[in-house]
A and B are shown apart, each in its own frame.
Chain A
Amino acid sequence: MARYTFQRFVYMVITLFIIATLTFFLMKLLPGSPLQNQEKLTPEQKALILKEYGLDKPVPVQYIQYLGNLLKGDLGVSFQYDNRPVTELISDRIGPSAQLGFQAIVFGTIVGLILGIVAAIRHNHWEDYTATVIAVLGASIPSFVLGGFLQYFIAVKLQWLPVAFWEGFKYTILPTLALSVGVIASIARFMRTEMLEVLSSDYILTARAKGISQAGVIMKHAIRNSLIPVITILGPMTVNLMTGTLVIEKLFAVPGLGEQFVRSIELNDYPVIMGTTLFYSALLILAVFIVDVLYGVVDPRIRLAGGKK
């Protein structure tokens, strides 16, 4: 297992390096300059500023500097926000985004798994049909539409929960719900299919032939084996959730990373764009890494094969 985990870790570092490089060169290819809207500055002043940020040097030199700083955990300083370090900007804003994402994925996964399991156990009964309808609806309604509905009915009409802003746990409920519906839908659908497949497999029959009760068979044999493929979709789902948060943050006026990201793109604030992109990518790759490790934890075939190599 240690060997397998280490292998995955190395992959993670390599991927991060490639993404850092790509981000840097893509940024250089973007049209425009951070100083393009500053008409009051004279060319000399502009040159001075460029020099100060190291933007006058040849691109390869800039690249080496950038990598060096990156290793030190330095993502540069923002052009627009009073020279504040990018890391500080990110850490100021990450809280709400992370909380939203985390709540949505935990809540969505738990509800999705339960729905999927119940649907499979009660295959072709009303519980199954209900779960399927929920899954189809959840997958086809975009999170911002649902967000709008929730705001209108639950916040405006019923006045149970606040419409927007970020002033305590109550404020997180509606955006979390809006975000998690997609998660619920995909997890439920996937889990149902996997459970049905596993329940019809030979080793389930073997377990029943031992005299194990239906509940025991499901708890001890079926769920774990159904989880293996479900874990794989957690990775891509995290991506979905991150892009989803951009919209939801705007809709519910959440002071998160997404809103700041969009603004820095509009203003050509290179360090913030690069920093945030890298940060998002790092999160994503970390998610994939965690999924890989989980995969190994649940499935001995993967864990042990990885160890032998």
Chain B
Amino acid sequence: MEKILQVNDLHISFDIHAGEVQAVRGVTFDLYKGETLAIVGESGSGKSVTSKALMRLLPTPPSRIKQGEILFEGKDLTKLSEKEMQSIRGAKISMIFQDPMTSLNPTMTIGKQIMEAILKHQKLSKDEARKRAIELLQLVGIKNAELRMKQYPHQFSGGMRQRVVIAIALACNPKILIADEPTTALDVTIQAQILELMKDIQKKLGMSIIFITHDLGVVANMADRVAVMYAGKIVEIGTVDEIFYNPKHPYTWGLLASMPSLDHKDTELYSIPGSPPDLLNPPKGDAFAPRNPYALKIDYELEPPMFQVSDTHYAATWLLHEMAPKVEPPAIVRERMERFADIVARKGGKPRG
């Protein structure tokens, strides 16, 4: 499969009064053409910082790309000027954000907000841009598009606004769509509609999606591959099947175990004990070790490298070392793994990247 984006050893820090917050500490992944890569992880693990860095949307200062490269169409995005980045943003790479209630300008009509993106990147007349904007609204399932063009965000419901946001992101047929928790702020039925819409559009337009979420249920439904982030690093990456049926990292086990389950109606929700490390002073060794019931002595000394599990599956845990004791995931995780088999079966087979 063709790689559309390569991120190599990306380090991002924030310089604040108290010191240097090392928010992203060596992230490496590839994005393939037409696939959906989900990035999951607890709050503060660096998902948003990573995705904003891809579009160079982080304010500098306080943020700074310390090291690493982001390769896209033969260019390293970390080295481009602001001007060059502007011609990529919204044209080649688009982004949609979490809260549709605040991500549209309240004093500008929907039509203008969509046309703005079109006119910025395409040599079209105003009339042609208007036509294109109406098409986009129809594409994202908004009825009465011509009338809706003249309306303001407050005249739309949350789900409808997120559709508008998606229309803006699609304005120039981007190669990559980054969605940072696009459905977290919506209620469940609307959430399902938006996810369907995104899948549908991906099928039509063939772009790659980076999908950031807390919700592993959504991941199972949407993604081809999954990257699990912890404390500014990817600790495990693989296809959906690999991550859900054969997870290797104890942190991934924890995430799977702490998923709320709809059908089981568990009264008590498991949560990973402890809290993520302070990124002002990241610990030596494996950052997850203090919260890891399977931690080995070496975890406190030396950071684990990425061990290869299969062609597509890697995990950074010393448990995969040949000299490590053999450990099975806990019972609750094995139970969950079976449940996901159902979800993925329902979703139907889809070629994997």
A285 to B57, CA, bound (A): 45
A201 to B101, CA, bound (A): 11
**A221 at the binding interface (Cβ < 8 Å):** yes
**A57 at the binding interface (Cβ < 8 Å):** no
Contact of B103 among A205, A211, A212, A228 (CB under 8 A): A205
B105 touches A209 (CB 8 A): no
A207 touches B57 (CB 8 A): no
Contacts of A298 in B (CB 8 A): 107
Contacts of B57 in A (CB 8 A): 205, 208-209
Q: Which of B27-35, B83-91, B333-341 makes up part of the contact surface?
A: B83-91
**B55 at the binding interface (Cβ < 8 Å):** yes
Contact of B89 among A208, A225, A300 (CB under 8 A): A208
B107 touches A300 (CB 8 A): yes
The tally of residues in B whose CB lies under 8 Å from a CB in A reads 32
Contacts of A203 in B (CB 8 A): 102-106
Q: Given the interface contacts A208-B89, A210-B90, A211-B91, does A299 sit within 8 Å of B120 by beta carbon?
A: no
**B23 at the binding interface (Cβ < 8 Å):** no
**B154 at the binding interface (Cβ < 8 Å):** yes
A224 touches B120 (CB 8 A): no
**A206 at the binding interface (Cβ < 8 Å):** yes
Q: Which of B92-100, B307-315, B344-352 makes up part of the contact surface?
A: B92-100
Contacts of B89 in A (CB 8 A): 208-211
Contacts of A209 in B (CB 8 A): 55, 57, 89-90, 94-95, 169
A300 to B109, CA, bound (A): 9
A298 to B82, CA, bound (A): 31
**B156 at the binding interface (Cβ < 8 Å):** no
- Minimum CB distance partner of A208 in chain B: B57
A211 touches B120 (CB 8 A): yes
B105 touches A205 (CB 8 A): no
Contact of A210 among B82, B102, B117, B152 (CB under 8 A): B117
B116 touches A301 (CB 8 A): no
A202-236 vs B: 1/0 string, CB under 8 Å?
11011111111110000011001100100000000
8 A Cβ contacts from B104-139 to A = 104-108, 116-117, 120-121
A207 touches B87 (CB 8 A): no
A74 to B325, CA, bound (A): 101
B155 touches A304 (CB 8 A): yes
8 A Cβ contacts from B267-294 to A = none
Q: Given the interface contacts A201-B102, A210-B120, does A301 sit within 8 Å of B168 by beta carbon?
A: no
B104 touches A225 (CB 8 A): no
Q: Measured between C-beta atoms, what is the minimum distance from B268 to chain A in Å? A: 35
A202 touches B117 (CB 8 A): no
A214 to B83, CA, bound (A): 10
Contacts of A214 in B (CB 8 A): 82
Contact of B87 among A208, A211, A304 (CB under 8 A): A211
Q: Measured between C-beta atoms, what is the minimum distance from B175 to chain A in Å? A: 14
A228 to B103, CA, bound (A): 18
A205 to B55, CA, bound (A): 11
Q: Measured between C-beta atoms, what is the minimum distance from B90 to chain A in Å? A: 4
B91 touches A225 (CB 8 A): no
A202 touches B90 (CB 8 A): no
**B165 at the binding interface (Cβ < 8 Å):** yes
Q: Measured between C-beta atoms, what is the minimum distance from A296 to chain B in Å? A: 12
A206 to B87, CA, bound (A): 15
B86 touches A213 (CB 8 A): yes
- Minimum CB distance partner of A224 in chain B: B107
A210 to B121, CA, bound (A): 9
8 A Cβ contacts from A36-84 to B = none
Supplied contacts A202-B103, A206-B168, A211-B89, 18 more A-B pairs, CB within 8 Å: A202-B99, A203-B104, A203-B105, A205-B57, A205-B97, A206-B105, A207-B105, A209-B169, A210-B94, A211-B87, A212-B90, A212-B116, A213-B83, A214-B82, A224-B108, A228-B107, A300-B152, A304-B155
What 3 pairs between A and B have smallest CB-CB spacing?
A: A211-B90, A210-B90, A211-B89
